[in-house]
Amino acid sequence: MCRECGQWAKDCRDEQTAGRWQVHVSTCHPAAAIEDFRAERGDDLAPGTILWATLLPEGEKPRDPLAFDAERAKAEYEEHQRKFGLV
């Protein structure tokens, strides 16, 4: 595999295929979301921070992963308590 284009190396380096490659333009929505987040909150990220995106269920809105959400924290804590029989 060619690390530049993702095509088979034998095909992308074959002179017989030169000039026959069609370029396509598309949007990677997870990459766009990461770019937007980095633009908005990049100053709050430590060097080497790795960001990745996950697809949310339909109807669920994205939230700021750096913001503290007391209601969500409480729900996660209560679930943890139930899961390990601590209540």
Place of tokens 């060619």: 2
Dihedral sign computed on CA atoms, order 4, 8, 9, 14: negative
Dihedral sign computed on CA atoms, order 26, 30, 33, 37: negative
How many Å separate Cα 77 from the centre of its chain?
Answer: 26
Calculate mean pLDDT across residues 71-83: 94
User: 2-54 pLDDT, tens per residue?
Assistant: 988 889 999 999 999 999 999 999 999 999 999 999 999 999 999 999 999 99
Structure tokens at 54: 């996950």
Closest CA to 72 of 46, 17, 52, 80: 80
Structure tokens at 28: 């990677």
pTM for this prediction: 0.60
